[in-house]
């Protein structure tokens, strides 16, 4: 990097003390294309009607004067006409007359000693240097040396000559020279010690160069992630762009996958931000909407839909033709893509919080949903139509909150299938905020969510926890119906899109239950390759096309259980209740992934010291059994491998190192187990074809 210091000659040439003429950062390494983009953006050099700057052409005094005014804080004060002739050789009818008039009025330009301006003559370096000094606030009387010695010394000391081809005082300036001079002026400090560019409303970066990202912030578009096909989403060829990454000048080859890309279209500037914390927030901010797919909703989009428009529906690939009525639609105007959600919640409004004046959430069936949009907030406010007690359908958006709300008619029925969690008495407030009590049935539905429905059950109506039921609500009346088993059999294919000969709906809801109090939602992919038998499926439902929309399973995955090692098992004697005698009780000490617990039980389980499954229903230990061992395994990604066979690992495998001498299991990480050098064994609950997974991996310490 080139640096210059103030010479003794310059200090002598200036009447001002040396401290008022600070040395600025240097601009020798700024590419010419970047300088041109900056001057275009600031409307200092804009080029012809095609944007071409014709840098090889010479510059007249009139043209240079216009550049001076365009680079001054008074650029907007230049009149449309000069009124009178500024100089004898500058007619007020010529295009440059207003610029000459303004430059003279502000002290930037002067005529010769005979009173002529010579507008059509090519400007010399010494004249350009003088006008540049005046722009920076230096007047002729600030220099002790005869003109132009002082002005030229200042010009060179401030590196205003960086990139300028003209060297001699009388050498003519080209448009290329002007490009460099006026960019350098932007980076210079004026007589008062202020960055000159600040006077034009922009800033320098930490290297003393024009902050391109800040300058182009107003017209910046994006972002899009750098993924396959990103080039086609830009309004220009990235090969022709100026590229910045994290504020530093870069090459296209330096961009990385999932960088966030912003751009200034007219200047062909590409500004990349390395992907990291907060990247999803920036991408989400670039997604607009939503709009409900009703009526002429397509007209609200900023681009026309075609069969090729990318559509993501509830997180899965879809198509424009699959968008039905009442779905919530978001869009990216840069990616020209749609993001569609069709999840709904129906029921009676139980609460609007915190107030009708400024609502942010609504409660339905015991579940509180944030109000995601201004439309939804308005509808539940004192200005909108909905109040407590109203039957509504919430249209859920990207964040799971209410994006829109629609009324339920008296004929509309709210239906959920699931297992009974509890029958309870709960407290509510009415539309006047007066408290009241209501009996409710709490249901864990097939989507895994818990819902509470008002239900005036009688003693003979009581349902036991874990029972399979259908809850229907119509016109404020809740009906609960017991359901028998409705199994379906077959093997789930590798892509989890079919079960035997039946299709799985893209929105299929799957609930895996255990005992009376345990239920867990399951993703379809979790069942890939699993053969479901009659005993494994409690219930299934289909839509009009025969696709399965809901499955309720009977302990298929085992993912609700806890896994670890049995440390100790002993039998103790305790007083028998009301008998005055002693009874035997088993006490089990287990380490469940680092959580050591003591579990008493009147049952004796067939568990041995070592890796075990602990199955609890509520607070009760229902089962405890040893896991199956696969010896001498290696770990390959998410599989344990031995003898050419693979056993898939659970998402939360418990890793231990076992000391054979002390017979102690020590919780470890995967990397610690691999680094231990001991032989590895994998312990699974059931075969993967039956839904099982490797739950524990043990390294035998040498």
Q: What is the DSSP string of 197-226?
A: GGGGT--B-TTSSB-HHHHTSTTEEEEEE-
Residues 208-250: tens digit of each pLDDT: 899 988 888 767 888 888 888 889 889 899 998 999 898 888 9
Q: Is the pLDDT of residue 191 over 90?
A: yes
Q: Which pLDDT score, from 0 to 100, does residue 20 have? A: 42
Least confident of 48-57, 457-466, 525-534, 636-645: 457-466
Q: Which pLDDT score, from 0 to 100, does residue 576 have? A: 63
Q: Which pLDDT score, from 0 to 100, does residue 458 have? A: 77
DSSP state at residue 37: H
Place of tokens 């010009």: 155
Residues 474-528: tens digit of each pLDDT: 887 889 999 999 999 999 999 999 999 999 998 899 999 999 999 999 999 999 9
Q: Is the pLDDT of residue 579 over 70?
A: no
Residue 582 — pLDDT band, cuts 50, 70, 90? Answer: low
Beta-strand pair 664-668/645-659: antiparallel
Angle at 142 between CA 136 and CA 143, to 5 degrees: 110
Residue 622 — pLDDT band, cuts 50, 70, 90? Answer: very high
229 contacts: CB under 8 Å, gap ≥ 6: none
What distance separates the 2 farthest-apart alpha carbons in the chain? 129
Q: Which pLDDT score, from 0 to 100, does residue 21 have? A: 44
Bridge-partner residues for 539, per DSSP? 552
> 141: exposed, middle or buried (C-beta count within 10 Å: 0-12, 13-18, 19+)?
exposed
Mean pLDDT on 549-557? 96
Looking at every residue in the chain, the average pLDDT score rounds to 89
CA pair distance 52, 30, nearest whole angstrom: 20
Quick one: tokens of 253?
């080859």
Comparing CA positions, the residue from 235, 318, 227 lying closest to residue 279 is 227
Beta-strand pair 502-514/518-521: antiparallel
Q: Which pLDDT score, from 0 to 100, does residue 577 have? A: 62
Query: What does the domain layout of the chain look like in residue ranges?
Result: 8-200, 216-282, 287-341, 490-554, 562-615, 628-700
Residue 93 — pLDDT band, cuts 50, 70, 90? Answer: very high
The CA distances from residue 570 to 295, 516, 608, 627, in Å, are: 70, 28, 11, 20
For residue 320, which phi and psi values (nearest 5 degrees)?
Answer: -60, -40
Mean pLDDT on 52-70? 95
Q: Which pLDDT score, from 0 to 100, does residue 324 have? A: 85
Residue 466 — pLDDT band, cuts 50, 70, 90? Answer: very high
**DSSP characters for 142-159?**
GB-SPTTHHHHHHHHHTT
CB atoms within 10 A of CB 306: 8
Place of tokens 């958006």: 397
Q: Is the pLDDT of residue 22 over 50?
A: no
Q: What's this model's pTM, rounded to 2 decimal places?
A: 0.66
Least confident of 59-68, 100-109, 434-443, 677-686: 434-443
Q: Which pLDDT score, from 0 to 100, does residue 13 have? A: 57
Q: Which pLDDT score, from 0 to 100, does residue 19 have? A: 38
Least confident of 120-124, 427-431, 439-443: 427-431
Q: Which pLDDT score, from 0 to 100, does residue 280 have? A: 77
The CA distances from residue 362 to 349, 384, 392, in Å, are: 7, 14, 11
For residue 245, which phi and psi values (nearest 5 degrees)?
Answer: -130, 120
Q: Which pLDDT score, from 0 to 100, does residue 660 have? A: 85
CB atoms within 10 A of CB 616: 18
Q: Is the pLDDT of residue 7 over 60?
A: no
């Amino acid at each position: 990097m080139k640096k210059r210091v103030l010479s003794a000659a310059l200090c002598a040439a200036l009447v001002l003390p040396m401290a008022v003429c600070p040395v600025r950062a240097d601009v020798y390494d700024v590419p010419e294309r970047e300088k041109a983009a900056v001057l275009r953006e600031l409307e200092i050099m804009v080029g012809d009607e095609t944007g071409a700057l014709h840098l090889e052409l010479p510059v007249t005094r009139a043209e240079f004067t216009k550049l001076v005014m365009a680079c001054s804080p008074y650029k907007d004060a230049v009149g449309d006409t000069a009124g009178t002739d500024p100089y004898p050789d500058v007619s007020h009818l010529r295009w440059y007359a207003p610029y000459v008039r303004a430059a003279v009025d502000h002290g930037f330009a002067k005529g010769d000693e005979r009173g002529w301006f010579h507008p059509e003559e090519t400007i010399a370096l010494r004249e350009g240097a003088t006008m540049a000094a005046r722009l920076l606030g230096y007047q002729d009387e600030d220099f002790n040396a005869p003109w132009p010695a002082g002005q030229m010394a200042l010009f060179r000391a401030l590196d205003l000559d960086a990139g300028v081809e003209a060297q001699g005082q009388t050498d003519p300036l080209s448009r290329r020279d002007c490009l460099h001079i006026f960019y350098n002026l932007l980076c210079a400090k004026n007589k008062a010690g202020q960055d000159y560019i600040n006077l034009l409303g922009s800033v320098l970066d930490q290297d003393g160069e024009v902050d391109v990202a800040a300058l182009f912030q107003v017209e910046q578009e994006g972002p899009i992630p750098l993924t396959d096909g990103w080039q086609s989403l830009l309004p220009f060829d990235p090969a022709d762009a100026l590229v910045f990454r994290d504020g530093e000048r870069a090459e296209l080859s330096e961009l990385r996958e999932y960088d966030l890309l912003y751009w200034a279209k007219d200047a062909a500037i590409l500004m990349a931000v390395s992907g990291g914390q907060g990247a999803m927030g920036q991408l989400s901010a670039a997604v607009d909407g939503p709009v409900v797919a009703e009526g002429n909703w397509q007209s609200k989009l900023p681009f026309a839909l075609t069969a090729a428009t990318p559509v993501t529906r509830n997180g899965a690939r879809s198509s424009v033709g699959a968008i039905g009525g009442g779905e919530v639609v978001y869009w990216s105007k840069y990616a020209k893509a749609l993001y569609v959600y069709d999840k709904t919640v129906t029921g009676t409004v139980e609460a609007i919080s915190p107030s009708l004046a400024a609502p942010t959430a609504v409660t339905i069936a015991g579940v509180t949903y944030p109000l995601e949009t201004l439309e939804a907030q308005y509808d539940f406010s004192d200005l909108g139509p909905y109040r407590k007690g109203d039957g509504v359908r919430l249209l859920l958006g990207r964040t799971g909150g209410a994006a829109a709300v629609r009324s339920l008619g008296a004929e509309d029925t709210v239906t959920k299938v699931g297992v009974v969690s509890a029958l309870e008495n709960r407290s509510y407030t009415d539309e006047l905020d007066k408290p009241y009590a209501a009996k409710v049935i709490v249901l864990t539905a097939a989507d895994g969510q818990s819902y509470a429905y008002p239900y005036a059950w009688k003693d003979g109506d009581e349902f036991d926890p874990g029972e399979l039921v259908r809850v229907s609500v119509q016109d404020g009346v809740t009906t609960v119906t017991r359901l028998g088993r409705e199994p379906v059999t077959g093997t789930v294919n590798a892509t989890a899109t079919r079960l035997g000969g039946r299709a799985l709906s893209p929105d299929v809801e799957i609930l895996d239950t255990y005992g009376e109090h345990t239920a867990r939602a399951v993703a379809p992919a979790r069942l890939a390759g699993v053969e479901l038998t009659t005993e494994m499926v409690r219930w299934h439902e289909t839509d009009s096309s025969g696709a399965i929309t809901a499955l309720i399973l009977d302990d298929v995955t085992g993912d609700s259980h806890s896994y670890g090692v049995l440390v100790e098992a002993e039998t103790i004697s305790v007083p028998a209740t009301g008998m005055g005698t002693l009874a035997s009780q088993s006490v089990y000490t287990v380490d469940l992934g680092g959580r050591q617990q003591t579990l008493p039980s009147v049952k004796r389980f067939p568990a041995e010291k070592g890796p075990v499954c602990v199955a609890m229903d509520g607070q009760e230990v229902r089962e405890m059994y040893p896991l199956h061992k696969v010896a001498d395994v290696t770990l390959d990604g998410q599989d344990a491998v031995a003898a050419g066979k693979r056993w898939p690992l659970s998402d939360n495998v418990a890793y231990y190192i076992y000391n054979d001498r002390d017979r102690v299991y020590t919780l470890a990480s995967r990397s610690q187990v691999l680094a231990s050098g001991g032989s590895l064994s994998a312990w699974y609950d059931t075969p993967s074809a039956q839904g099982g997974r490797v739950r524990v991996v043990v390294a035998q310490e040498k």
